[in-house]
Chain A
Amino acid sequence: AQTVTQSQPEMSVQEAETVTLSCTYDTSENNYYLFWYKQPPSRQMILVIRQEAYKQQNATENRFSVNFQKAAKSFSLKISDSQLGDTAMYFCAFISGTYKYIFGTGTRLKVLA
C-alpha cells in the first residue's frame, strides 16, 4: 500500500530563520508526483510546491524548496527566511497512476516573532 509519513507533528521556528519539514513515502511506482500543501488558520488548502518524480532537479518556489531523494523516498520541505504568515499546517501528498491522492497527517508549524 502507498503511504505518506510526516514524523513531526509540531515544529516551531524563529522569524527569519530556516526550517525543514520531513516527509517520507512508500510506493512501488516509478512515476508519481509529490506535493506540499499549506493550511493556514483560515482552513483553506493552498499548494506550496510540487515535484515530478522523473525530474532530478529539486523544485523551488521563492522561499520554499524541496529536497527530493527518490531512492530514499524522502521529500522534505525547506522554508527559508520564515515569516509569521508561514504559520500553518503543512501536508505532504503523493499521487501516482491511480486517481487518488495520499496525504500525510500533517506538521503544525509555528513561526515565532
Chain B
Amino acid sequence: NAGVTQTPKFRVLKTGQSMTLLCAQDMNHEYMYWYRQDPGMGLRLIHYSVGEGTTAKGEVPDGYNVSRLKKQNFLLGLESAAPSQTSVYFCASRPGGAGEQYFGPGTRLTVT
C-alpha cells in the first residue's frame, strides 16, 4: 500500500515550458487535491476533485489545469510555466466524509 505518490519529486523548467505533475493514490479515495506551498503562506488550494471525471477550482487556479480521468490519478498541468510558479506542490487525497487528508511527498518545482 503506497498511499499517495507524486511524480516527479524535483523539476527545473524554463519560463514558457510545460509539464504535468502526476498524483496517484491506491486507497480508493473519492477526493483529491493539489496545493502549492510557499514560504509564509501555508498551503493554498489550486484545484480539487470530488470524484472521477470531476474537477473544481480552488484558491489559486490561474495558470494550472487538472484532469481526473481515473479515480486513482489526479494530474496537474502547467501550460506555460512562469517564475511565480516556483513552489513546492503537494497532492492529497481523502475518503468521503470529513476525514483527514493523506499527503504525497511533494514536488519541488523551480521555474527559471
Contact = CB atoms under 8 A, between A and B. Distances in A.
Interface of A: 9, 32-33, 35, 43-45, 47, 50, 91, 95-96, 99-101, 103-106
Given A47-B100, A50-B100, A103 B43 contact: yes
B33 A43 contact: no
Most B C-beta atoms less than 10 A away, residue of A9, A96, A100: A100
A43 B35 CA distance: 13
B42 A91 contact: yes
Given A44-B105, A91-B43, 16 more contacts: A9-B40, A44-B103, A44-B106, A45-B92, A45-B103, A96-B98, A99-B48, A100-B45, A100-B48, A101-B33, A101-B43, A103-B44, A104-B42, A105-B40, A105-B41, A106-B42
Interface residues of B, number: 21
A35 B100 contact: yes
Contacts of B44: 103
Interface string B32-60: 01000000111111001010000010100
B106 A105 contact: no
A37 B50 CA distance: 22
Interface of B: 31, 33, 40-45, 48, 50, 56, 58, 88, 90, 92, 98, 100-101, 103, 105-106
Contacts of A103: 42-44
A2 B56 CA distance: 18
Nearest to B35: A103
Nearest to A42: B105
B50 A43 contact: no
Name which of A33, A45, A91, A106 has the most chain B CB atoms within 10 A of its CB. A45
Contacts of A35: 100
